[in-house]
C-alpha cells in the first residue's frame, strides 16, 4: 500500500514536516498525527491528516499556510473529513481493534475518489504533534515515514478500491 514514494512526493512530505515543526503549534489532543500524502494520477497532490475532522482541518490550515495551494507546480488538495461508513476487517495478528473513520489513509483514498483522480503514489509520514510523540509504525529506513499498521495492511485492497466505505 505504501511507502510508494516519488521524488516529488518525498519533497512534499519534507515540506509538510518542516512547516509543522516551524509552526510550534501542538496537535489537538495528547499525541501525534499520521499524515497521508499522495501524488494523484494527474500529478496533483492530496494530503489527509488523522484525527477528528475539526482537529485535522486545524492542522491542514497550518500546512496550507506554509506550502500554499500548490507544490512543485501542482495543486494540493486536502481530504481530512472522517470517512462515513468505513468498515475495516480485523487484522490477522496483533489483536488491534482501534482503526477508524479518522485514519489518514482511508481519508486519502476517499478524497481521491471524491475528486475522481486515482492515487498514483501514496505514503504516510508521522508528525509528533509538537510533543515528541513516538511514531507507532516507523519505516525501518526512515523514521519520519510510517509503515502500514495492521489494519491498513490487512485492508489495503478494500481501502484502495473504495470497498471499505461502499
| Helix, strand, coil in percent for the chain, rounding step 5 | 35, 20, 45
| Domain count of the fold of the chain | 1
Under 8 Å CB-to-CB from 132, ≥6 apart: which residues? Answer: none
pLDDT at 4 over 90: no
Position 45 in a domain:
yes
> Which residue from 47, 51, 53 is spatially nearest to 19, judged by alpha carbons?
47
pLDDT at 93: 64
Q: Grid coordinates 481530512 are at which residue?
A: 80
pLDDT tens readout for residues 118-164:
999 999 999 999 999 999 999 988 999 999 887 888 889 999 999 99
pLDDT at 32 over 90: yes
Range(s) of the domain holding residue 69: 7-159
Query: Which CATH number belongs to the domain containing residue 17 in this structure?
Result: 3.40.140
pLDDT tens readout for residues 67-121:
999 999 999 999 989 998 888 877 666 665 556 778 899 999 999 999 999 999 9
Position 51 in a domain:
yes
Position 165 in a domain:
no
Amino acid at each position: 500500500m505504501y511507502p510508494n514514494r516519488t521524488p516529488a512526493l518525498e519533497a512534499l512530505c519534507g515540506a509538510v514536516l518542516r512547516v509543522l515543526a516551524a509552526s510550534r503549534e501542538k496537535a489537538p489532543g495528547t499525541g501525534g498525527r499520521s499524515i497521508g500524502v499522495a501524488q494523484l494520477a494527474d500529478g496533483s497532490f492530496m494530503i489527509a491528516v488523522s484525527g477528528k475532522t475539526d482537529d485535522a482541518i486545524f492542522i491542514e490550515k497550518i500546512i496550507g499556510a506554509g506550502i500554499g495551494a500548490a507544490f512543485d507546480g501542482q495543486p494540493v488538495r486536502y481530504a481530512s473529513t472522517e470517512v462515513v461508513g468505513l468498515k475495516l476487517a480485523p487484522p490477522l495478528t496483533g489483536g488491534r481493534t482501534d482503526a477508524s473513520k479518522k485514519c489518514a489513509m482511508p481519508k486519502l483514498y476517499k478524497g481521491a475518489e471524491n475528486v475522481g483522480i486515482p492515487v498514483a503514489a501514496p505514503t504516510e509520514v508521522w508528525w509528533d504533534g509538537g510533543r515528541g510523540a513516538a511514531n507507532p509504525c516507523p519505516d525501518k529506513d526512515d523514521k519520519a515515514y510510517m509503515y502500514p499498521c495492521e489494519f491498513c495492511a490487512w485492508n489495503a485492497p478494500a481501502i484502495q478500491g473504495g470497498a471499505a466505505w461502499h
